[in-house]
Amino acid sequence: MFEEMVVEKPVIGVTGATGFVGSAIIRMLSGAKGYECVALLRSAKKLESYSDGAREIGELEDLNQSSLDLTGLDVVIHCAARVHVMDDTSSDPMAEFRRVNVNGTLDLARKCVEAGVRRFIFISSIKVNGEMTRNGAAFRHNDVPAPEDAYGTSKAEAEAALHTLSEKTGMELVIIRPPLVYGPGVKGNFASLLRIIGKGIPLPLGAVNNARSLVALDNLVDLIVCCVSHPKASGQVFLVSDGKPISTTDLLRGIATAMNRRCWLLPVPEWVFRVGLGLIGKKAIADRLFGSLVVDISHTKETLDWEPPISLEEGLRRAIAPS
């Protein structure tokens, strides 16, 4: 097994601590792992409703005006971000993503350097690699970034800025790029799928032969926790997944099995969907349903001696379990 960092039990700060991933990180670190965690929250209002061990961070895009206190922290896990949305109504999405995800992240990292934080763990996105894989290929940790939307571009720019800062200051940097994350309390498109299948609504998606990598929340959090103190994590970019890709059709069947429900899937040809969705300006939805996105996690597994602790099937069972 690997050796710990010099600090036996580093004090860990987590941004986005009330979010889907951040809250799970705090539960794991402060519970089973016994670390001292500090939730870095955006507002005093959130601070009032949170348990002990929280500090106000302020808005990411306005950190220079905040009284952010990072003293005593050894590691900061940065989960907070302006997240990707399918239909962004902002007049200038790129500027908004850069303001929060690039400038805000870099300001936070600089404050970490000033406070003596040893390691900065940045939760990025597989969208830095691109939107789809083709011809049986898989995204790798050392691919040249090829983002295709404003969110992915902002994450790629943040990574580049953090690398430069790390090289100049010596603060250790770890980057993790997850694909779609699912688990208890998941929102967005995955939550919509759970509702539809739970209601037994027939879906015309019985003939989708793509391959998509997903990551269960428990697997992602386990990797993040591993990166807190693993000596070989510093300076690395890690891709993460459940270990095997799945087609959209098989995913729907897997969700139905986890729910103990019958899955009604009609084998409608892919071209019918692509033409129809293209006509109404929803090509991105077609790409998500029928396109492939596979990640190669061999570098992650070999560097950290890490394996996803739960299977995709177990991840789906936990995702649909009542809270």
Sorting pLDDT into bands at 50, 70 and 90, what band is 61?
low
pLDDT, average across residues 300-318:
95
pLDDT at 51: 57
Backbone Cα Rg of the chain: 20
Residue 302 in tokens: 């070999």
Asked if 306 contacts 240 with a C-beta cutoff of 8 angstroms, the reply is no
Of 311, 212, 195, 185, residue with least CA distance to 256? 195
Mean pLDDT in the chain? Answer: 86
pLDDT, average across residues 13-38:
86
Report the 10 Å Cβ neighbour count for 32.
Answer: 9
Residue 193 in tokens: 């799928």
User: Is residue 7 over pLDDT 50?
Assistant: no
Amino acid at the residue 22: G
| Rounded Cα distance, 130 and 96, in Å | 20
pLDDT tens profile 147-156: 999 999 999 9
Amino acid at the residue 278: G
pLDDT at 86: 53
pLDDT at 108: 93
pLDDT tens profile 202-260: 888 888 889 999 999 999 999 999 999 999 999 999 999 999 999 999 999 999 999 88
pLDDT, average across residues 315-320:
91
pLDDT tens profile 157-202: 999 999 999 999 999 999 999 999 999 888 888 888 888 888 888 8
Does the annotation count 182 as an active-site position? no
pLDDT at 5: 47
User: Is residue 142 over pLDDT 90?
Assistant: yes
| Rounded Cα distance, 312 and 297, in Å | 15
| Rounded Cα distance, 270 and 289, in Å | 9
User: Is residue 80 over pLDDT 60?
Assistant: yes
Between 269 and 7, residue with greater pLDDT: 269
User: Is residue 1 over pLDDT 50?
Assistant: no
